[in-house]
Homo-oligomer: A and B are copies of this chain.
Amino acid sequence: MKGTVGELGEFGLIRELTARLTTTPAVKIGPGDDAAVIAAPDRRVVATTDVLIEGRHFRRDWSTAYDVGRKAAAQNLADIAAMGAVPTAVLLGLVVPADLRATWPVELMDGIRDECQVAGAAVVGGDVVRGDTITVAVTALGDLRNRDAITRSGAHAGDKIAVTGWLGWSAAGLAVLSRGFRSPRAFVEAHRRPEPPYHAGPAAAELGATAMTDVSDGLVADLGHIAAASGVDIDLRSADIDVPAQMSDIGQAVGVDPLHWVLTGGEDHAIVAAFPPDVKLPARWRVIGSVAAPAGRTPQVTVDGAAWDKAGGWDHFGDDPADGVRA
Spell out A's residues near B (CB within 8 Å). 5-6, 8-11, 13, 28-29, 32-53, 56-57, 79-80, 82-83, 85, 89, 91-95, 98, 124-133, 135, 137, 139-142, 144, 149, 151-153, 212-214, 229, 315-318
State which of B43, B45, B53 has its C-beta within 8 Å of the C-beta of A141: B45
Chain B residue nearest in CB terms to A8:
B317
What residues of chain B lie closer than 8 Å to A149, measured between beta carbons? 28-29, 33, 37
- With A47-B124, A48-B91, A139-B139 known as contacts, the answer to whether A98 contacts B317 (CB < 8 A) is yes
**Cross-chain contact A49 with B93 (CB below 8 angstroms):** yes
| 11 examples of A-B residue contacts, CB within 8 angstroms | A9-B315, A9-B317, A34-B83, A35-B85, A37-B47, A37-B83, A40-B40, A42-B43, A48-B125, A56-B131, A95-B135
**Cross-chain contact B6 with A317 (CB below 8 angstroms):** yes
A222 to chain B, nearest CB (A): 9
Among A8, A29, A137, A212, the one with the most B-chain Cβ atoms within 10 Å of its Cβ is A137
A267 to chain B, nearest CB (A): 14
A-B pairs, top 10 by smallest CB distance, nearest first, are A137-B137, A35-B48, A40-B40, A93-B137, A51-B93, A34-B82, A139-B139, A49-B91, A10-B316, A34-B79
A109 to chain B, nearest CB (A): 14
A17 to B132, CA, bound (A): 26
A257 to chain B, nearest CB (A): 26
**Cross-chain contact A132 with B132 (CB below 8 angstroms):** yes
- With A10-B315, A43-B40, A315-B10 known as contacts, the answer to whether A83 contacts B33 (CB < 8 A) is yes
What residues of chain B lie closer than 8 Å to A38, measured between beta carbons? 44-45, 47
16 additional contacts (CB under 8 A) given A10-B317, A35-B85: A6-B317, A10-B315, A28-B149, A32-B152, A33-B83, A35-B46, A35-B83, A35-B142, A36-B46, A45-B141, A48-B125, A51-B127, A51-B135, A53-B95, A53-B129, A135-B137
A50 to chain B, nearest CB (A): 5
A153 to B214, CA, bound (A): 40
A135 to B51, CA, bound (A): 10
Among A8, A45, A129, A153, the one with the most B-chain Cβ atoms within 10 Å of its Cβ is A45
**Cross-chain contact A36 with B48 (CB below 8 angstroms):** yes
- With A45-B45, A135-B135, A137-B51 known as contacts, the answer to whether A35 contacts B130 (CB < 8 A) is no
**Cross-chain contact B49 with A39 (CB below 8 angstroms):** no
A318 to B9, CA, bound (A): 6
A297 to B45, CA, bound (A): 42
What residues of chain B lie closer than 8 Å to A142, measured between beta carbons? 35
What residues of chain B lie closer than 8 Å to A28, measured between beta carbons? 44, 149
A126 to B126, CA, bound (A): 16
What residues of chain B lie closer than 8 Å to A151, measured between beta carbons? 29, 33
What residues of chain B lie closer than 8 Å to A41, measured between beta carbons? 43
A142 to B149, CA, bound (A): 20
Chain B residue nearest in CB terms to A40:
B40
